[in-house]
Structures are given as C-alpha cells and as structure tokens.
Structure 1
Amino acid sequence: MEVISNVAIAGVIEFESYTCASDTLGSSILKAVVGSKRFRVTILARHLSEPQLPESVEVLRVDYDSAPDLTAALAHQDAVVSVLTTNAMNTQLPLIEGAVKAGVRRFIPSEFSANIGNPKAAALPVYHSKIKLCDVLQQTAEKNPNFTYSLIRNGPFLDWSLAFGFFLILKGGETHLYDGGDRPFSTTTLTTRGKAVVEVLCHLEDAKNRAVFVQDIVTTQKKILKIAQEVNPERTWIPKIVSTAEMEARAHENYANGMFDLVSALGFFCRSVFAEGYGGEFQEVDKELLGIRQKTNNDLKALIKGAPKSDQ
C-alpha cells in the first residue's frame, strides 16, 4: 500500500487567524494535516509573504510563475495540496508541471467547491477556471501514470456561510430565500474539509483520479431560518424570495461588462447551490472513505448559536 509521508501545501497561510480570506481556505487544512501527525509538512510561500506557522512546518520561498523553481522546491515531496485562491487559478498550472517533474504522486487542487461535475453547474462562468484545471489534471495523469490527483467537492462552507450571511442574516432583518428556500443542499464546515484532505492523502488508491464528495449535513435555508428563530427568539427576520435565475442573468450581464466582482459571482454561486438540477445536494457522498460523521440538526443548532453575528 502506497504511503504519503511528505506533503507540500501551496499558498499563503496564517496558522492561527481565521479572519482573512486566504486563511479560511488554508489554515483549516494546515491544522488538519499537521494535527494528524502523519506527515512532514512543507509550505510553499511567495518570497514576500510572512506566514505565521508552527515550528514543525518548513517554509520554502518559491516563484509560483517558475516551473523550474517549483520543481526544485517539490523534490522529495509525495503530495501537493493547493490552497491558492480563485484569483490564482492559473498559478496552479506551473505548480502541476513542477509536481510532475519532481515526481509528486498526488495533487489536490484548490477546487473545494460545488458539484462542478454537474453539467449545469459546469456551464456557470465562475467555475470555468476550475473546470479547465480539472481537464489539465486529467490529461496530465493520463500522460504520466505515476502522477495522480484527487478533487474535493464540499459545497458551501457551513460555518463561513453562517458567519458571513450567505444562508441568512443571523442578526435578523431582511434575509434572502433563494428560489423559496426549500431546496436541499449539501454543506460542509472548514474543519471537516480539512479532515477530508487528510483522509484522501491516507487513501490514495480509493481517491485516485476522481472527485471525492464530502458533506456535514443536507439542509435548506428554511430549516436554518427556523433554527435561528428558535435560538434567537428576540430577533425578527423578514424573508424575501429571490430568483436564482434572475441572479444568474444579472451575473452574466455584469461579466459581459467586465464586472468580475464578488457580487457578480454570487449570482452564479447561488445558482449552483440552490437551483433545481444544479447538483447542490450531493447524491453520492464518500462517507465510508472519509469516515466523517454526518452532523445532526442539534449540531447545526449549536453552529448557528455559536456563529458570530457580523454586520453583513
């Protein structure tokens, strides 16, 4: 049985803080990989970055635009986990090239998204760079049998989405119910996503060259709203039905006019999560492979109760 010993994590990560965007993507993975005590961990950081990391983690400064630089940095690494942001998707192309040349056996890209294997979701422009990367990985693995990959699909992040008002505004007031708020969707906490990365690295053959689906719970916006009302009876919510089809149409217009901001992308995100036929509820989840217990409504209630009530 193949064993992964050395893991390189590509991206800027702050180990202790959860407040910045790069951190929500990276630190939970780093904590899970380091905390498992199964791997020697190296961080590939840009030359000008100053990541705050545990002493056990080695930091190598790299030029992400240089495949030769990355090849040298990845020497003796068994696996690469990318936590590079969506804006840096193309940066993963030389990273893949360097990984192949260095003899890396498993590559986990910075996908961590909706079910973009669903044709409707895959057609949304916000996911095109991820689709392109999947195609590159598949072609690279076909040409290089010793190089393999795993894609991790987890839906929207449960804890992050509660904190930042993606599912509803926890402090009360007007809250959007997308397409009525009744559509079931899969959602996963950042911590569980980190555990999934560890398990994928420990089950190379079972997770080889495919998408691995992870979720903590299947729920709906209305269920979340009902629990929030139970937890905070003093707050009042004013539901507003919002059409994801109209959101998508506006997002296409914005993209056509060169507006590639978060507000525009939100229309596509909401479509992939809440719209019928877009695969927001995963039909097959790798429960046995990952060994992750599904959360209950009581767990969800605890998360809602403990989520910060930001001024979204």
Structure 2
Amino acid sequence: MSYIRIAEMSTKGSKKGGGNLGSIVLRSLLASPDLTVTALKRPGSTSVFPTSSELKVVEVDFSFDSLVSAFTDQDAVISIVGATGIGEQKVFVDAAVKAGVKRFFPSEFGINGQSDTVRQMTPFFAVKQELLDYLVEKEKDGLTWTAVIAGVLYDWCISNGFMGFDLARKEATIWDDGNTRFSGINEGDLGKSVVNILHKPAETANQFIYISSLTATQNETLESLEKVTATKWKINRVNTAQQVSAAQEALGKGDFTGALTLVKATCWSNTPGLKQHFEVDEKERLANGLLGLERGETVQDTIERVVASRN
C-alpha cells in the first residue's frame, strides 16, 4: 500500500518529521512493513525526516499541479498540517481526487470539533468543518475520507507541559475544580490507530473515528504525578470564564496564543457540552475495538513512563 503524508507547512525552525503530531504518526507508518510512505515538504523547509528505505521525501510548492503529481499512484493521503495550513486543505482534496487517491485523512487528530459547544468556543473550527463538508461532497467522485478524533494527546501533553503540569518545577495549573473527565490518547495508540484504519478501508470509510487510550481528570493526573515524583506540587487555579475572555481578547489583537488557550478550555474546563469523554459522550462511535486498542496503560502507568523518560 502506498501512502503519502503532507508534512507540517511551517518553514520556521527545525521540525523533526515535519511536526510533533506528524512524527508520532510517521513512526508507526514506517514500522508497518506493507506501507510505503512519501512525505511532502515545501522547498527550503527545515523539517528533518528519519532515514528509512520505506520513506521518500518530496519537495513540492503545494500548487494544484505539484500535488497531483505527488499524489499520483498513492492509495491514501494524510494531512497533518499545522493551524496555519488548515484553510489550504481544499486544494489537497481536489488534487487527491484528480490523482485517483482512495482515502483522505483531514488534519483532525485532536479534540471533538463535532461538539456544538466546542465550535462556539473556538470559531476557527468552522474552517475544519467546511473541509469536512467538502469531503462529503467529494464522495461522489470516488474519494473516501476518515476523520480521526483522538481527544487529548495525553502523554505528549504531560511531557511538554501543555496540560499545565510543569514537571521541572513541580507546579500545576488546574482549571476550575479539576474534576472534568476527558478521554486521552497516548502516542503509540494514535499511530497504531492510523495504521489500522489504513488496513480496514471498508469499515472506516466516510466517517468520524473516535479513539481513546484512557480517561482522566486534572486532579487524577496531579495525584499520580505527586505519587510518582514523591513531591507535593504547587497548585495554581484558573477560571474558565476568565481564561476564555482573555484568550478572545488576545485573538482579537492577532495573538494566536489565545487560540491555544481556547483549545485547553475545550479539553478540561467545566463548560457543559464539550463531549470530550468519548466513552460516554461518543460511545456509539468509539472505535477502540475495531482498531485493536486494548486498554493497557492506566493514568498511573502513563505518568510513570513519562516521568522516567525525562530522568
């Protein structure tokens, strides 16, 4: 099976494997012996890709013609563009149709943008929904699609501090009461899911696929971190309403960090209707069984692994 992955489109700074999420997916694809992978990047990009006989890296200018050429003879295209590239994906879809690609993965792989509350809180999700609607239109042209909704990238977000847990300083930022339950995906399960979707094309066509490694709350995460580090952490508490207001003000001034705050608000704030606890809110669409995701690591197991990797 031939597969092509669109790398992160930013050319600023070095990005191993074209971005953090891209690296996670790419590792699993290259570990699957029946997949041949092509990665795209812009000319002059500083993205760094692993050396592998199963990986071909192609420079394209992301024009329609260059994409059609790159997509020809490929079975699937997986878009893992960054936030600034979300709006450019329609040309990817058009090129995929022209090239005869069978499956297209839009750049999702995160929070549940199918929640009305999430879309209201984060207006930039409207661009993602436009693309999803466009993919439905293209079904008549023979292109199938799969949108992977993975929730919080749990181990990665703990390791890099995005979830508000500073491992170096032993300091935690807790939203509201810290008791909102959300689903999380660990890196290995995310990559495994993408590979298994490719291996089950009929069962995964033209639908949203929800996946989950575990469920957690901020308080449970903090409790495990304190246990593993044998340290009582300092706690800073923030309020959702204040955080969202400040984020919207920042976005109004062109400060994109406000968007990151809104993403956090959609993950673990106390706002009703987020639908981030997939085992309850999206139970009918949870595809763990289909994709072979057996519950292995607990919250405690994951914390132990993350902390050990940093020592």
- The answer, yes or no, to whether TM exceeds 0.5 is yes
Shift of 1:127: 2.4
> Does 1:306 pair with 2:302?
no
How far apart are 1:107 and its partner, in Å?
0.3
Q: Which residue of the other structure, out of 110, 113, 117, is the alignment partner of 2:114?
A: 117
Kindly provide the amino acid, as one letter, of the partner of residue 223 in structure 1.
E
Letter in 2 for 1:140: K
| Residue 224, structure 1, aligned to residue 221, structure 2 | yes
Q: CA deviation at 1:203?
A: 1.1
* Residues 277, 89 of structure 1: alpha-carbon distance in 2 compared, 3 angstrom cutoff: same
8 Å contact kept, 1:7–1:79:
yes
Partner SS for 1:125? coil
Q: 1:171 to 1:185 in 2, by over 3 A?
A: same
In 2, are the aligned partners of 1:152 and 1:211 still within 8 Å (CA)? yes
4+ runs deviating over 6 angstroms = none
Measured in 2, the distance between the counterparts of 1:173 and 1:37 equals 41
Deviation at 1:21, TM superposition (A): 9.1
CA shift in 2, pair 1:166/1:59, >3 Å = closer
State the Cα distance separating 1:60 from its structure 2 match.
Answer: 2.3
> In the superposition, relative to structure 1, how do residues 251 and 300 fare at CA in structure 2: closer, same or farther (>3 Å)?
same
Greater shift after overlay, 163-172 or 298-307? 298-307
TM-score, normalised via structure 2 length: 0.88
SS in 2 for 1:7: strand
Q: 1:243 to 1:307 in 2, by over 3 A?
A: farther
Query: Secondary structure of the residue that 1:249 maps to in structure 2?
Result: helix
Q: TM-score, normalised by structure 1?
A: 0.87
Confirm or deny that 1:247 pairs with 2:248: no
The number of aligned residues is 295
Task: Give the 5 Å matches for 1:27-176.
Answer: 27-49=23-45, 51-53=48-50, 54-64=52-62, 66-123=63-120, 124-141=122-139, 143-144=140-141, 146-167=142-163, 168-176=165-173
Distance in 2 of aligned mates of 1:80 and 1:19: 20
The question of whether the paired residues in 1 share the 8 Å contact of 2:7 and 2:19 is answered with no
The sequence identity of aligned pairs, in percent, is 27
Deviations 1:58-110 (A, max 9, x none): 2222121x112111111111100112211111232211110000110100111
- C-alpha spacing 1:303/1:96, structure 2 compared with 1 (3 Å): same
Deviation at 1:226, TM superposition (A): 0.7
Asked if 1:272 corresponds to 2:272, the answer is no
Aligned CA distance change for structure 1 residues 296 and 45 (closer, same or farther; 3 Å): same
Q: 1:105 to 1:154 in 2, by over 3 A?
A: same
Q: Any unmatched runs of 5+ in structure 2?
A: none
Q: Which amino acid is 1:154 matched to? A: A
Q: Shift in Å at residue 47 of structure 1?
A: 2.4
Change (3 A) 1:19 1:71: closer
Give the match for residue 211 of structure 1.
Answer: 208
Question: Contact 1:78–1:104 (CA<8 Å) still a contact in 2?
Answer: yes
Residues in 2 aligned to 1:20 and 1:247: alpha-carbon distance in whole angstroms: 31
Is the 1:12–1:49 contact (alpha carbons within 8 Å) kept by the matching residues of 2?
no
User: Given that residues 147 and 208 in structure 2 are in contact (C-alpha distance below 8 angstroms), is that contact kept between their aligned partners in structure 1?
Assistant: yes
Provide the rounded CA distance (Å) in 2 between the counterparts of 1:160 and 1:152.
17
SS in 1 for 2:28: helix
In the aligned structure 1, how far is the partner of 2:94 from the partner of 2:253?
Answer: 34
> What code does the residue aligned with 2:217 have?
T
Q: Could you give the per-residue CA deviations for residues 166-188 of structure 1, whole angstroms, max 9, x where no partner exists?
A: 33222345421112111111111
Aligned-pair Cα RMSD in Å: 2.1
CA distance in structure 2 between the partners assigned to 1:245 and 1:181 by the alignment? 15
Unpaired runs of 5+ residues, structure 1, are none
How far, CA to CA, are the matches of 1:115 and 1:26 in structure 2?
19
Amino acid corresponding to residue 160 of structure 1 in structure 2? W
